[in-house]
Structure 1
Amino acid sequence: MIRVLVVDDEALVRSGLSMILNAADGIEAVGATDGQGALQAVADRAPDLVLLDVRMPGVDGLTVLRSLMARPSPPVVAMLTTFEADEYVAAALRAGARGYLVKDTDPEVLPALVRRLVAGGVVLAPRVASHVVAGYLRHQAGLGVAAQTLERLSSREREVLVLLAEGLSNADIGRRLHLSLGTVKEHVGALLAKLGVHNRVQAALWAQRAGLLDRVGV
């Protein structure tokens, strides 16, 4: 059972997301709170995933995120936003968030995205992707030469990068490409090193900036 905590300052959003998640197989909304109660709720309920509103009065999402990431074993965190251009989302990705969702995500899609995040994948809502990519990469040295760096990747590494950018976990990538989990991990490690990035979120944003997804028709 995947345990999800919803953190948002709007009661209607909290209840709506909780209802959607509780109706899905294998997912339980173990709590819903605002930013003020978020850290205590995480301590009390030990969620696998926190869906965290990036903009809240009082204690905002970035403050909660940074506190969670400082813990020895933080939960997976994905940010919630209503804005197509939200510089706070880029800051959250730099602080350790695994991805971001818009609050009006299709209810039929939300459970699959939750499973993807908990399995180790990345979720980057397409509607705000271009704004977030630009805001994120402005702070990443060397990523302005993305097209040139792309040539350093092998064809297999490019395939893995595309699937990683689609949000697939290592296990899902292995099934798609008929590779062992160990081989996928080796490819991911190699492409991260070649791109000069530190994690899957950075690699996924790099792939979008480089136009790699467009080139392969994804």
Structure 2
Amino acid sequence: MTVAHHHPLIRRGLAQSLGDSGEFTVTSYGDVDAVLAGVRARPDSVVLASRTLPGIDRLLGAVRGGELPRVPVALLGEAAVAHPSAVGLPPGVSGYLPEDADVRALSHAVHTLASGAAVLPAAWIQRAGATVSRGEPRETGGNLPLSLREREVLTLLGAGLTNQQIGKRLGLSAGTVKSYISAVYAKCGVDNRVQAALFAHGIEVSAA
């Protein structure tokens, strides 16, 4: 995967955190020319690029124009941005992620992008009433309709715990944990553990 950011501290931090997870081979670049050269050499890469990276339009143009048709690009930016219209997500972008997102959330997001789905802050999808990967309309309400125990289970899913670890942490049987996880999936509109973990970090998967 590729991290593209013009700020050296953020670039190094993201690359080191993702590399330390042991899930990816990470390359990082500070300018678009280097990114384009690197991605041409590794067209299976997922790119996390700063939305303010100088020349970002050239990278997205290469994706739109078919030069890099299979390269997912997610923009990195401020967590406080409330709506895609405030960012102006251009064609060729597969998602938007906060620069300060938890490394587990970023790792899940990279896997999701590689699968061909898009990732966006959950608040955007909920506010717009968009559909998620299951194709079901989302409620536009504010809070998730989860019970306290379901919220605890969702939090632990986001932390990467297994069913057995969740049961031990909460004092629940394996069957009860499965029931809670099924309820969390249904109420959050997700299909699997990765999507639930992303949702726990405020990132939602939308249909590709």
Which residue of structure 2 aligns with residue 25 of structure 1? 22
Residue 99 of structure 2 aligns with an amino acid whose one-letter code is K
Deviations 1:181-218 (A, max 9, x none): xxxxxxxxxxxxxxxxxxx95x58xxxxxxxxxxxxxx
1: CA distance, partners of 2:18 / 2:92 = 23
Which residue of structure 1 aligns with residue 57 of structure 2? 62
- Say yes or no: does 1:97 pair with 2:71: no
Deviations 1:71-127 (A, max 9, x none): 1633111111126156474332xx121111010111232111111111222210236
Q: Determine which structure has the larger helix proportion and give its number.
A: 1
Residue 73 of structure 2: SS of its match in structure 1? strand
Residue 108 of structure 1: SS of its match in structure 2? helix
* Pairing of 1:134-213 with structure 2 (within 5 A): 160-162=134-136, 173=191
2: CA distance, partners of 1:39 / 1:56 = 13
Residue 118 of structure 2 aligns with an amino acid whose one-letter code is V
1:9 pairs, out of 6, 11, 26, with 6
Which residue of structure 2 aligns with residue 50 of structure 1? 47
Assess, with a 3 A threshold, how the Cα gap between structure 1 residues 26 and 89 changes in structure 2: closer, same or farther: same
2: CA distance, partners of 1:17 / 1:39 = 19
Aligned-residue sequence identity (percent) comes to 24
1:67 CA displacement: 1.9
Which residue of structure 1 aligns with residue 164 of structure 2? none
- Say yes or no: does 1:75 pair with 2:71: yes
- Say yes or no: does 1:113 pair with 2:72: no
Assess, with a 3 A threshold, how the Cα gap between structure 1 residues 99 and 76 changes in structure 2: closer, same or farther: same
2: CA distance, partners of 1:164 / 1:120 = 20
Check whether the contact 1:65–1:97 (CA below 8 A) recurs between aligned residues: yes
1: CA distance, partners of 2:111 / 2:13 = 18
Residue 70 of structure 2 aligns with an amino acid whose one-letter code is P
2: CA distance, partners of 1:73 / 1:35 = 17
Assess, with a 3 A threshold, how the Cα gap between structure 1 residues 118 and 159 changes in structure 2: closer, same or farther: closer
Gaps of 5+ in 1: 134-145, 151-156, 177-199, 205-218
Deviations 1:10-63 (A, max 9, x none): 111111111111112331103333224221221133342011111123x1x233
Residue 14 of structure 1: SS of its match in structure 2? helix
TM-score, scaled relative to structure 1: 0.53
Q: How many residues align?
A: 145
- RMSD over equivalenced CA pairs, Å: 3.8
Assess, with a 3 A threshold, how the Cα gap between structure 1 residues 40 and 88 changes in structure 2: closer, same or farther: farther
1:69 CA displacement: 2.5
Which residue of structure 1 aligns with residue 81 of structure 2? 84
Residue 28 of structure 1: SS of its match in structure 2? coil
2: CA distance, partners of 1:20 / 1:158 = 28
TM-score, scaled relative to structure 2: 0.55
Gaps of 5+ in 2: 140-184, 194-204
Residue 134 of structure 2 aligns with an amino acid whose one-letter code is V
1: CA distance, partners of 2:62 / 2:136 = 31
